[in-house]
Amino acid sequence: MQQITVGDNEAGQRLDKLLAKYLREAPKSFLYKMLRKKNITLNGKKATGSEMLFKGDEIKMFLADETIAKFAGDAGLPAERHMKKESCHDVRLDIIYEDSHILLINKPAGMLSQKAQDTDVSLVEYLHDYLLQSGSLTGDGMRTFRPSVCNRLDRNTSGIVAAGKSLQGLQELSRLFKERTLGKYYLCLVQGEVKERSRICGFLKKDEKSNRVSITDSPEAGSAAIETELCPLKSKGGVTLLEVHLITGKTHQIRAHLASAGHPILGDYKYGGRKLGDRYKNAYGLNHQLLHAYRLTFPALEGPLSGLSGKEFRAPLPGEFQKIAKDKGVL
């Protein structure tokens, strides 16, 4: 028999949803059968699975340890399982801010925000490992709640990624990103001299096979409206240091939008072309776009994230970005 005492990260969801996380390999039919037969109870009583959970509720599973282990899979195993092939690197996260609900992490270029394949190691796995090592998370706790990121940056884009450390934090952050009430600002180095502040609009359509997007002035089937605000900070010698305010947030939006406007980001082979990419690779060894999510601003807030109300956080520019910007005379 195993018992789960519902905590903050489990409360507020249905019993069957929690059981599906805890015994993630079990068929739903098995879970409902165990509920009907009272092999799984809630607060000592028979349950249907539709009950809403509250902090302090007790769930008992009168199942063999072997059965629980079989259906739990590796859901509760520490993130070290994911880290084996990269453990020698001893990756240390650059934490900009942390409280009991959220973390803001300065992601380096080259790191995935989330897995693309099962064999990948992403920021999420490093986050789990960090929380396990710090004692903020336990293996058992991961059976019912897994902290995760709320915004994704391209693998080769650096900067601020927000993550939910608690269920409340994850839900509230996700809501803020969905409602576009957070201020998301990027710095990038682009080809050409941008002279005036502007707000550019268009429509973005993604080709899943090539993982590439295209920008059009008018809507097409499968396209989404996008909006990007540009603020040139300094231009010199055919290069501009640009602040970008991301109004909407679609895949490759900034990169494709700037390229379509005639100002591709330096180092961006996909949207800037090989000629421009090779120029900076040969000169600086640059193998990624110079795009950095450097500033995140919070609106007025109530509830679990009220302590972040009106605050602003910044991630310092990577050294490579700084060097090239200084060499070009725009920093």
189-196 average pLDDT score: 94
Identify any residues that bridge with 291 across adjacent strands, giving them in sequence order: 188
What is the model's pLDDT at position 277?
93
pTM of the model: 0.83
147-158 average pLDDT score: 94
41-60 average pLDDT score: 96
* Confidence band, pLDDT 50/70/90 cuts, at residue 28: very high
How far is it, in rounded angstroms, from Cα 111 to Cα 114? 9
What is the model's pLDDT at position 104?
98
145-173 average pLDDT score: 94
What is the model's pLDDT at position 78?
45
One-letter amino acid for residue 268 of the chain: D
What is the model's pLDDT at position 89?
45
Among 91-100, 136-145, 184-193, the minimum mean pLDDT is found in 136-145
What is the model's pLDDT at position 33?
96
Provide the percentage of residues in the chain whose pLDDT is more than 70: 95
- Cβ(158)–Cβ(152) below 8 Å: no
What is the model's pLDDT at position 79?
42
How far is it, in rounded angstroms, from Cα 10 to Cα 150? 19
How far is it, in rounded angstroms, from Cα 192 to Cα 208? 30
Among 6-15, 95-104, 235-244, the minimum mean pLDDT is found in 6-15
What is the model's pLDDT at position 74?
56
* Confidence band, pLDDT 50/70/90 cuts, at residue 309: very high
Q: Which residue has the tokens 């060499």?
A: 327
Strands (E), 196-310: 198-207, 212-216, 224-236, 239-246, 291-297
How far is it, in rounded angstroms, from Cα 202 to Cα 218? 7
Q: Which two tokens stand for residue 91?
A: 């990756």
Mean pLDDT across the chain: 90
80-179 matches 183-327 in fold: yes
CATH of 2-72, one of 3.40.50.2300, 3.40.50.1100, 3.10.290.10, 3.40.50.300: 3.10.290.10
Q: Check whether 115 has a pLDDT greater than 90.
A: no
181-204 average pLDDT score: 93
**What's the pLDDT tens digit per position in 56-103?**
999 999 999 899 988 987 544 444 444 444 443 468 899 999 999 999
Domain 183-327 in CATH 3.80.30.20? The answer is no
Q: Which CATH class is domain 80-179?
A: alpha beta
DSSP label of 317? P
**What's the pLDDT tens digit per position in 203-231?**
998 888 888 898 888 898 989 898 899 99
The residue among 109, 22, 115 whose CA lies nearest residue 71 is: 22
What is the model's pLDDT at position 18?
93
178-201 average pLDDT score: 94
What is the model's pLDDT at position 80?
44
Q: Check whether 164 has a pLDDT greater than 50.
A: yes
What is the model's pLDDT at position 311?
97
What is the model's pLDDT at position 87?
47
The residue among 6, 5, 11 whose CA lies nearest residue 167 is: 11
Domain ranges of the chain: 2-72, 80-179, 183-327
**What's the pLDDT tens digit per position in 257-283?**
899 989 999 999 999 999 999 999 999
